Each structure stands twice: as C-alpha cells, then as structure tokens.
Amino acid sequence: MARVADFRSDTVTRPSADMLAAMAAAEVGDDVLDGDPTVARLERRVAELLGKDGAWFVPSGTMANSVAIGSWTRPGDEVICERSAHMVQWESGAAGALHGVQTTTLHAPSGAFELDEVRRAVRLRSLHCPRTALICVEQSFMGSGEAAGGRAVPLASLRALHALSRELSIPIHMDGARLFNAAVASGVDVREYAACADSVSICLSKGLGCPVGSLIAGPAPFLERARLLRKRLGGWMRQAGYLAAAGLYALEHNVARLAEDHTLAKELASVLDGCGGLDATPHEVETNIVMARVLDPRRDAASVAGEFRAHNVLVLPMNERTLRFVTHLDVGTEDVARVLVAVEEVFGG
C-alpha cells in the first residue's frame, strides 16, 4: 500500500516506540478514588511549566476550554473571543449549550486584539446587559484561513491585554493548544506567555505526539471550580496514568523538536506557493501550519483536497477557498516531495 502523507492536522500522529514503552511502564492508580501517581506528576509538571497553582488532566482541548469557560462564568454571562477562535468555530457551541453563556466576537486576523476594541466590547454594568465575564485568547493563533495560520501572538500584545484585563477586573483564558509551538518559534518561555492569562489550557495531542490528553491550569480558587466541572463533564478518568506517562514523555522529548516541524512547514509553503495554483505566502509561516489559498476560480478547496487525496496526500479544507497543511512528527521531507508530485499532477506543473 502506498504511503499516505497526512497533513490534515498534528493530531494524526501515533505514539513512538519510546513513548509506548513509557506508557506501558507507568505507575497507575484510580485517579478518582485514590489518585493516580503519574497523573499527579504530570499535573505538577505542567503547573510548574506554566507558573500556575495547579493543573487538571482532561481528555481533550475542547473539554479544557469548556472547563475554563464554565469555571469563570455563570449562565447569562458573555465572553469576548476572536471570531475565528477554536472555541467559537470548532467546539460545537459548547459555551452556550453547556454553560449558558454567549460570545461577542472581535476581528483580529493575527490573534492580537486591539485594546480599544476590547474596551468597547465590554458591557455596561446594567441589569439589562449580560456581564462581560471572560476574555479568551489563542496561542498560537490558527485563524480562519484568510491569513496564515499558526501565528505566535506577540508577548507585548498579550501583556498589554493582560494589563487592560486587570484594569477591567475581567479574567483571561488562554487556549494554548499549540502554546509550545508559539514558544519554540518565538523563543519566549511558555511561562511568560502563561503569565498573561489567568487560566491556560495546553494540548498534548497537537504537535507533541501524544495519543490523547490536555491540561487546564490556573489559580487555586479557579481549580476548585474546574475540578467540579471536570467531574460533571465526565473528564475525570481512572487509570489515566498510562496516558499521563505519554504526556510526561512528550514534555521531556518532543518540545524542542517542534522547530523541525516549523522548518518543514516553511519548506512546504515554498513548494505550494511556487505551483501556480495555490498561494501559500511562505514568509508568513511562523510555526507548523500552512494556509494555502486556491487561486483557480473554477475549483474550490474541497475539490482540490479530493484531487490531492487521489494522490495519497491528505489536507483539510478550512473554507471554500483555503486548504490547511499541518506539519508534525509523522511527516518529513519525503512527504513534502509527495506533495510536490501531487501539485504537479493536479495543477499541471
């Protein structure tokens, strides 16, 4: 069977042999009844890395974000988000369905909010208005496909937003699903980014190569509420140490190597941008996500993705005109070469 080059997401990776060995050797317990020692180690490690009081292990990034929203808000509240943020576009309306809150969305193509827009979006303190209870940011910022994805939101912008949030007495939650990508690309320590938010989620199965798992970190009062919501949402697992061991392995071995994914993404963008049928703007690629716009008006992104699939290249249509390519530890230069062959076949060289 021909090899398939899967660029749909950095979530498609399989655990390495060494990661599987670490999982198999994990010391475990019932995390709900008595505590799982490996889960506890992972939670302490992530809290330390992010500079927070503690962290909870949950199955997914969507659940981590949902726990954060539910912990900071009450039904009837409002949350400020970027309009293409993951929690707005890709979490099935969880904020409203599970927590009874609404969102007001701002347009920030780079992921960095204009402070005046944030200030204007905050509701009046009135019986007639919802309470603005939370500001959400995303790091790295994927975007909608209209601009290059995987942007590292500048530390200065996040610090300015944090200062405004203190003035307004509104907490910030950072969706840090690809926080380590942003840190590696920018050279900024994850703790510095995390200091710009009250709660932070990270995802172990995006980029870091784990089969499953995310963590949500924050201050002690937040964690008390978050623990209850994790229970309510069914995210408190039993012998989860096997999964936590994968996370500990990834934090030790798979963070620095993210730089390889970023280099490969730039190489891939150059291949795509030179094909004549796609516009990939290589100079805008910062981390491991490449957004490629379909130039031929007779084709849309879904049809091009289908043509690529016929040549054993998998990509994700983000909207009618944009394809997303994501590099990760299970693709390499040979897969970029496979993309080049597919491009030549689809667009005629």
The pLDDT confidence band at residue 143, using thresholds 50, 70 and 90, is confident
Q: Average pLDDT in the 134-151 region? A: 85
- pLDDT the model gives residue 349: 57
The pLDDT confidence band at residue 276, using thresholds 50, 70 and 90, is confident
Coil vs helix vs strand at 84: coil
- Closest by CA position to 138, among listed 79, 54, 93, 78: 79
Q: Average pLDDT in the 225-234 region? A: 98
The pLDDT confidence band at residue 275, using thresholds 50, 70 and 90, is confident
Q: How far is Cα 246 from Cα 215, in angstroms, rounded to an integer? A: 13
CA 63 → CA 20, 87, 103, 201, 210, distances in Å? 24, 10, 17, 10, 16
- Domain spanning 17-253, CATH class: alpha beta
CB contact set of 340 (below 8 Å; sequence gap of 6+): 271, 275
Give start and end residues of each alpha helix (H) in 90-177.
94-99, 115-121, 155-168
Q: Average pLDDT in the 65-76 region? A: 98
What does the domain layout of the chain look like in residue ranges? 17-253, 257-347
The pTM of the full predicted model, rounded to 2 decimals, is 0.96
- pLDDT the model gives residue 147: 59
Q: Token pair 């904020």 is at which residue?
A: 95
Q: Token pair 């941008």 is at which residue?
A: 273
What is the side-by-side strand order in the sheet with 316-317? 278-279, 289-294, 322-326, 316-317
Same topology, domains 17-253 and 257-347? Answer is: no
Coil vs helix vs strand at 91: coil
Q: How far is Cα 267 from Cα 261, in angstroms, rounded to an integer? A: 10
Q: What is the pLDDT of residues 234-245, one digit of tens each?
A: 999 999 999 999
Looking at domain 257-347, what is its CATH homologous superfamily? Aspartate Aminotransferase, domain 1 (3.90.1150.10)
Strands 316-317 and 322-326: antiparallel
Q: Can you say whether residue 68 is alpha, beta or left, with left for phi > 0 and alpha for psi between -120 and 50 degrees? A: alpha
Q: Is the pLDDT of residue 269 over 90?
A: yes
